[in-house]
Amino acid sequence: MAEPAEDFEPYLATAAEMLSTEGMNAAAELLRTAASRVEQTGVDNWNGSTSVWTVFLEIEPAAYGQLGDRKVGIEQQINKRLEAVLSGHTANWYSASIIPHVTPRPDWRESKGQISQVARRNIIDGLRLDNVAWSGRLEEVEFLARLFDLQRLPSTDSRFSDAAGDIWQHRVNNPMDWSDDWIYGDSRFDLMGGPSDTFLRFLCELVHPVVRPDKNEALQLVQQFNDQLRPEGWHLVEEEKIAGRPRYVARPLGLSGGRAVSRARTVADALDAGWMQKEIERLENAVDRDPALAIGTAKDLVESCCKSILQKRGVAVAASAGLPDLTKALAKELRLVPEGISDEARGAETVRLILRNLSGLTHYLAELRGMYGSGHGRDGRHRGLEPRHARLAVASAVAFIDFVSDTHHRRPIGDEERTTPNPGQPPNRRPS
């Protein structure tokens, strides 16, 4: 009998078909799209010299990163089906491992997301309008030396051999030679047209605790910077604290709320709810770029989850039912507290209150979205909802859908305690 590793495609295809049939679409799709290779990775001498083989499933790094906590669960789903498929074909051991695809990337150190000149101009204009001393409490040469090798940059003054001497002469020895905002137009540093990572590092240094020890002043600047950077796909986030003051670094968007979004994807996959996956994708993209949209989408996600579970359990609800009605119907349909515990009724009511508050939180935040969202004229002092509000809504929505989805899977639909109507009362569900 030929070893399966010699031609593993038929086994992968069979496992993918099994996963699709069982509604595990994420795992099935990964098997179909991943580049696969099978390698012998060990020998178990305690079990008759059984060979250990690993099926490496290579996917793009971005897709791998998006898996998050789901990776382990998907590997387990695939391995369970592979075990069934291979059981009659080999005595050796096979297991799948999802890994990121590695290719030469000569430009990987270059910043991918470019900051537009419009965004740079807006940030610089804001610094000028507020008369922000960009070097903070440091002298300008000292500040720039933290970012650039001034000895390698040329001088505009023939009396000096490098930029360090040039800057000292015209900003320290003769401070009136150059204006306070000279840095923004100096081609040696090219903050307006140079690499985005240079511009972002300049902003991070501008709010560094050593440069600007006033935490409130630094935070206010970071908020102003992020207002312009978010539409560009970037934001400044706290990396660590120095003497109790935050140090910021630039990060691309799409990494916020990762654990909550990953868990939401798992729930949607378990419910086989394609429309929930679309809402999750929209939510993930909006948390930092458009907090108001993310909050509204979190509310939509809760509604979709409720409708999906009620539909799967054959419970009819009005098409016009809002979030409070859906939450109430779901709480009635699912027995939320295990039977046999003391004060079961009181416990169930407590859980219902928790769920009501979780769903209510996203509902109320969505109302705030209507107050602070776009579409209405605002005065110059107006500030909308921020990513922290969006993360609160997302975390609350995910906590809700995670709990009710898990309860749905633990409660058999055929439970007679919930399907037997009272005498003379019509059943509250459609036939499954």
Instruction: Give residue-wise pLDDT tens across range 132-168.
Output: 999 999 999 999 999 999 999 999 999 999 999 999 9
% pLDDT > 90, the chain = 34
Structure tokens at 289: 């770029």
Asked whether residue 150 falls in the same domain as residue 84, the answer is: no
Confidence label for 113 from pLDDT (cuts 50, 70 and 90):
low
For residues 299 and 397, the answer to whether their CB atoms sit within 8 Å is yes
Q: What confidence category does residue 109 fall into, taking pLDDT thresholds of 50, 70 and 90?
A: low
* CA–CA dist 302, 186 (Å, integer): 52
pLDDT at position 379, please?
45
Asked if the structure places residue 425 within a domain, the reply is no
Are residues 96 and 56 located together in one domain of the fold?
yes
Mean pLDDT taken over the chain: 80
Which of 203, 222, 252 is the endpoint of a domain?
Answer: 252
Q: What pLDDT shows up at residue 432?
A: 37
**Tokens coding 134:** 């960009």
HSE, CB side, 13 Å, CA atoms: give it for residue 124.
Answer: 20
pTM for this one?
A: 0.44
Tell which of 210, 225, 252 closes a domain: 252
Best CA proximity match to 255, nearest among 229, 284, 280, 228: 284
Residues 128 and 36 in one domain: no
DSSP 315: B
Establish if 429 belongs to a structural domain: no
pLDDT at residue 201 in the model: 95
Residues 309 and 409 in one domain: yes
Helix H or strand E segment including 261 = helix 258-271
Residue 347 has pLDDT above 80, yes or no: no
Q: Are residues 230 and 159 located together in one domain of the fold?
A: yes
Of 65, 100, 135, the residue at which a domain comes to its end is 100
Say if residue 265 is in the same domain as residue 413.
Answer: yes
The neighbouring-strand residues paired with 237 are: 249
pLDDT category, 397, cuts 50, 70, 90?
A: confident
- Terminal C-alpha separation, the chain: 46
Compute the half-sphere exposure of residue 414: CA atoms within 13 Å on the CB side of its CA: 0
How many angstroms separate the CA atoms of 293 and 307, rounded? Answer: 21
Is residue 328 domain-resident? Answer: yes
Three-state secondary structure readout of 73-113 = HHHHHHHHHHHHHHCCCCCCEEEEEEEECCCCCCCCCCCCC
Same domain, 243 and 267: no
Burial zone of 322 (CB within 10 Å; 0-12 exposed, 13-18 middle, 19+ buried): exposed
Residue 428 has pLDDT above 90, yes or no: no
Question: Count of CB atoms within 10 A of residue 118's CB?
Answer: 11
Q: Which CATH number does the domain housing residue 8 bear?
A: 3.30.70
Q: 109 lies in a domain?
A: no
Answer whether residue 112 shows pLDDT above 60: no
pLDDT class for 54, splitting at 50, 70, 90?
very high
pLDDT tens digits, 322-331: 877 888 888 7
Asked if residue 268 and residue 350 are part of one domain, the reply reads yes
> Do 121 and 148 fall into the same domain?
yes
* pLDDT tens, position by position, 222-278: 989 988 987 888 888 887 889 988 899 888 865 445 556 666 766 766 676 666 766
Task: Say whether both 169 and 34 belong to one domain.
Answer: no
- pLDDT category at 430 given cuts 50, 70, 90 is very low
Give me the amino acid identity at 428: N
The parent domain of residue 15 ranges over: 4-100
Q: What is the DSSP string of 5-53?
A: GGS-HHHHHHHHHHHHHTT-HHHHHHHHHSEEEEEEEEEEGGGTSEEEE
CATH number for the domain including 345? Answer: 1.20.120
pLDDT on residue 421 = 40
Whether residue 64 has pLDDT greater than 50? yes
Q: How far apart are CA 222 and CA 238, in angstroms?
A: 10
pLDDT in tens, 269-303: 667 666 676 677 677 667 777 777 888 888 888 88
* Residue 326 located in a structural domain: yes
The sign of the CA dihedral 104, 108, 113, 114 is negative
Q: Please tell me the distance from the alpha carbon of residue 100 to that of residue 59, in angstroms, as a whole number.
A: 5
Tally of domains within the chain: 3
In the prediction, which pLDDT does 15 show? 95
148 and 86 in a single domain? The answer is no
- Does residue 81 share a domain with residue 34? yes
63 in a structural domain:
yes
**427 in a structural domain:** no
